[in-house]
Structure 1
Amino acid sequence: MQSLLALQSGKLKGAVSLKLSEDLSDFPAEIFELADTLEVLDLSFNKLSSLPADFGRLKKLKIFFCSENLFTVLPEVLADCPLLDIVGFKSNRIKTVPAKSLHKNLRWLILTNNNIAELPKEIGHCARMQKLMLSGNRLATLPQELGNCKNLALLRIPANKLHELPTWLATMPRLSWIAFSGNNFSKTPAVETLSLINWHDLEISHLLGEGASGVISKANRTMGDETSEVAVKIFKGNVTSDGLPEDEMTAYIAAGYHPGLVNLIGQIALHPEDKKGLVMDLIPHHFYNLGNPPSLESCTRDVFSPEMRLSEKQILNIAKTIASLAAQLHQAGIMHGDLYAHNTLIDEEGSTLFGDFGAASFYDKTAVELAFALERIEVSAYGYLLDDLLSLSNKPHEGTLTILGELRDSCLDTIPLNRPGFQDLVDALAKV
């Protein structure tokens, strides 16, 4: 992170990227001295509530993050930057989104955790929009015009006040990842309580990883005279871009046992800060991440290490495991919402473990048309996963992979209702 002093002294002249977090209450005018080069600007974690009227002088700006500030209105001057296509105003106090603030060039818009009750119909003019993050607001409806954003691939709308899912979602040709838990229409089923594990019987060893919803650590669990190694996830309790942590925990429990899921052992009891948590099997060391999360450039598509290559056996095992697991989830009325390679762990044999229920949502299986449509949205995500797997093949032209290519194409049909269901995919893969 750079400093305001370095900016003011001219040491940052020619910078392409700038990140300042110094309790700023006013926009530093010196930023305009970088107008000829600046493409990425991050002013998150400050005390800003407005932008200067001439903000559009930043003609080369492509990415602007201004999260954790004090804005109550999404600034209209954002639209004066002709190349700006990624905008993030997470965790402000925004109530109003003016039509003028939504430039048609927008590709990725983050408005998570604000106070927005309504979006302007002009959002439908954002034809390039691929990723829209609206969790944790006060939206009771989504504008019909949003259905004009035919490139929209990922939509996050949990923890709002929506009374129903719009019917036009079922017609979106590229929508593949959607989360909607925690709304007025959401029905979270009762799930069986797992075995309760006393916090005092766990000895936390070290951090394994941290995500938006919680922290995962390695721990030793004592049961009488026996000690075993486990993984422990403690939920943070705050709304994330994907949804509410309690919905994640409930969905994971409701998913039930599947060989492609990390096995749940129990729920945390008597946590000293009364936090919720899960105890899981420790993932074997020889498993590794299949992919990495999308980059700012790739937006909705995972990225992979250049040296990553997969055998036909690995590809087929991964494809079969994820299809089988997804079929089980949808049979239970669970939309995973984040079916991605970066949530997939594999080994050299193609053994697969899938996880991260942070974006999971429950839906009503008895609403047949809605259930059919939601499954086809997730099938599209599976199609992109197949596309990723095929791109990593060390022998891309073998017969089996040709069949997977045909399945991929059917999953990505731009008419969602023409796509197969997950059980159809399971049956087709069983013949490969």
Structure 2
Amino acid sequence: MIHTLKDLKADKLKGLKKLKLAEGLTEFPKEIYDLADSLEILDLSDNNLSELPKDIIILKKLKIVFFENNKFTEFPSVLAQLPLLSMIGFKSNQIHTVPENAFPPLLRWLILTNNRIKKLPKSMGDCQFLQKFPVAGNLIEELPKEMANCKNLELLRISSNKLTSIPDWLFQLPKLSWVAFGGNPMTNSIEVESTIKSYAWHDFKIKELLGQGASGMISKANWISENKEVAVKVFKGSVTSDGLPEDEMKASIAAGNHKNLIPILGKIKEHPEDKNGLLMDLISSDFINLGNPPNLETCTRDVFIDKNFSLKEVIKIAKSMASVSLHLHNIGINHGDLYAHNILINQKSEILFGDFGAATFYNRNSQISKKIERVEVRAFGCLLEDLLNLVDKSEIDQNLYPKLKNLTELCLQPEVDKRPIFSDILEKLIN
């Protein structure tokens, strides 16, 4: 819900916990201080703000702040003084400077996507609770080595920056599970050969919207010359929290064929707005999302509503996911977003895995390749743990449950090198 400055000034919002104002503001409204006793979430996205007042520290109960799509050029270090602040969003500003010691002590989730940051402060290493850090679409040339102390970091998006190498410590972080690092000079050298055909936009009659994500919109379409129904994904073209849409398109195509991947039929050419697009099989309406994306509370973990699984179903899902993950890593693709919300499932527990927005190509012959795979193995472990928590209690004493629990623990163990790789996991699940 969007509130109004008029209501705020008229004292009609007393006791409010969450405030959202989007009225082209150029200054921070002082009337917000009247909510100091209750306000926990402040969303001032889509305004023209460029700085925060020093007395914002009056808002001691703030836990979450969003300033997306404003005009900040420097990250406001005054936020470090808010004791309960755990989530900060500054997506799509013009930030080029992040000062030292600018972060609050309880920071868990920091969004700096699509800015102009060249350098991150060394004090990033003091963010001991940081779990989620999307910083794609900046100008960062290297990550500060102090970030090796961010032992709770689970999700990192550093796509579309200026990184020339990956630091050794990154893939040794004990909890790192979801990482996207495409669109950097170190990955740009990997060219994808493709024999996939392109089809003219005017040969498709676009019908209803099926869904949309950060990178684009998927619609149902009639393929006129072939007289069949398909799905068409048109990319928005700007950097997303995961990375660049063209990298997603390349990875979707390079992933090739696997029974648990959504089949790609071709590319779209001659779009009236010169946008890129992919042509895909239309998925049967029997398929639904296995889970919902993380929320503000769960941070990095998916949300499952009213779902229960049998052990047999969990094993079937796990086998399929291990198989498709092995297929991708054999090609040298790190999916980067191995989550239940990117998995479609039907009544027979058959699955389809999609959304390559965070996917990154890497060299299978590099020294670090097995570490990259084992980071994704931790994401697989998180998925398995979530599914096992949804298993009917009557099945927990069975012989299989402890074995799956043990496999989960192997995938989640903090020493990256001691985790199994996907071929080991698949073998264990088959046996």
CA distance in 2, matches of 1:296, 1:165: 29
1:315 and 2:309 correspond: no
Give the letter for the 1:312 counterpart. L
Residue 220 (str. 1) matches residue 222 (str. 2):
yes
The separation in 1 between residues aligned to 2:104 and 2:285, in whole angstroms, is 47
CA distance in 2, matches of 1:217, 1:65: 30
Whether 2:22 is the aligned partner of 1:21: answer yes
The amino acid across from 2:157 in the alignment is R
Deviation (angstroms), 1:193: 3.4
Looking at structure 1, the residues matched to 249 and 3 of structure 2 have their Cα atoms a distance apart, in angstroms, of: 38
Give the % identical residues: 53
Q: Is the 8 A contact 1:313 1:349 kept in 2?
A: no
Higher deviation after alignment, 61-70 or 312-321: 312-321
The match for 1:107 is: 108
Amino acid at match of 1:365: R
- Tell me the distance in 2 between the aligned counterparts of 1:79 and 1:419: 36
User: Partner of 1:253 in structure 2?
Assistant: 253
2:377 partner letter: V
Determine the structure 1 residue equivalent to 2:401. 401
Q: Secondary structure at the match of 1:378?
A: helix
Equivalences for 1:263-412 in 2 at 5 Å?
A: 263-305=263-305, 307-367=306-366, 369-394=367-392, 395-412=395-412
Work out whether residues 171 and 372 of structure 2, in 8 Å CA contact, stay in contact via their aligned partners in 1. yes
Shift of 1:100: 2.7
Q: Within 2, Cα distance between the matches of 1:173 and 1:61?
A: 30
> Secondary structure at the residue paired with 1:54?
helix
Checking the alignment, whether the CA contact within 8 Å between 1:390 and 1:396 is kept in structure 2 is no
Q: Which residue of 2 aligns with 1:157?
A: 158
- Between the aligned partners of 1:110 and 1:39, the Cα distance in structure 2 is 18
TM alignment of 1:146-185, pairs within 5 A = 146-185=147-186
1:238 deviation in Å?
0.4
| Residue pair 1:313, 1:350 contacting (<8 A) in 2 also | no
For residues 38 and 195 of structure 2, the distance between their equivalents in structure 1, rounded to whole angstroms, comes to 56
Deviations 1:252-294 (A, max 9, x none): 1111100001111111121111111011111111111110000
Paired residues of 1:191 and 1:250 also in contact (CA < 8 A): no
Alignment correspondent of 2:206: 204
Q: Deviations over 1:135-154 (max 9, x none)?
A: 01110010000010100000
Aligned residues: 427
Matched residue, 2:138:
137
Q: What SS does the corresponding residue of 1:324 show, helix, strand or coil?
A: helix
Closer, same or farther in 2 for the Cα pair 1:237/1:193, shift >3 Å? farther
**Any conservation in 2 of the 1:314–1:351 contact (CA below 8 Å)?**
no
1:325 corresponds to which letter in structure 2? V
Q: Could you state the TM-score of these two structures normalised by the residue count of structure 2?
A: 0.98
Matched letter for residue 152 of structure 1: L
2:79 is equivalent to residue 78 of structure 1? yes
Report the Cα distance in structure 1 between the residues aligned to 2:10 and 2:348, rounded to whole angstroms: 56
Describe the SS at the equivalent of 1:386: helix
**How far apart, CA to CA, are the structure 2 residues paired with 1:191 and 1:260?**
22
**Aligned residue in 2 for 1:236:** 236
In 1, the alpha carbon distance for the partners of 2:193 and 2:213 equals 24
Give the aligned residue type for 2:404: L
- In the aligned structure 1, how far is the partner of 2:341 from the partner of 2:295? 12
Helix, strand or coil at the partner of 2:209: strand
Letter of the 2:401 counterpart? L
Q: Work out the CA distance in 1 between the residues paired with 2:116 and 2:424.
A: 42
Counterpart contact for 2:83–2:105, Cα < 8 Å: no
Secondary structure at the residue paired with 1:99? coil
Q: Which whole-Å CA distance do the structure 2 matches of 1:269 and 1:162 have between them?
A: 31
Aligned partner letter, 1:18: L
Deviates more, 1:188-197 or 1:409-418: 188-197
| 1:417 positional shift | 0.3
- RMSD over aligned CA atoms reads 0.9
Question: In 1, Cα distance between the equivalents of 2:397 and 2:62?
Answer: 42
> Could you tell me which amino acid in structure 2 is paired with residue 12 of structure 1?
L
Give the TM-score taking structure 1 as reference length.
0.97
Question: Residues 22-75 of structure 1, C-alpha deviation per residue, up to 9 Å, x if partnerless?
Answer: 000000000000000000000000000011111111000000000100000000
Counterparts of 2:262 and 2:402 in 1: how far apart (Å)? 30
Q: Offset of 1:396 from its aligned partner?
A: 3.2
- Of the structure 1 ranges 133-142 and 391-400, higher mean CA displacement relative to structure 2 is found in 391-400
Q: What corresponds to 2:55 in structure 1?
A: 54
**3-state SS of the aligned residue for 2:408?**
helix
Conservation of the 8 A alpha-carbon contact between 1:182 and 1:244: yes
Distance in 1, Cα, partners of 2:340 & 2:101? 37
Q: Determine the C-alpha separation between the residues in 1 that align with 2:34 and 2:397.
A: 52
Gaps of 5+ in 2: none
- Quick check: 1:42 aligned with 2:43? yes
Give, in whole Å, the separation in 1 of the partners of 2:339 and 2:238.
23
How far does residue 83 in structure 1 lie from its aligned partner after superposition? 0.3
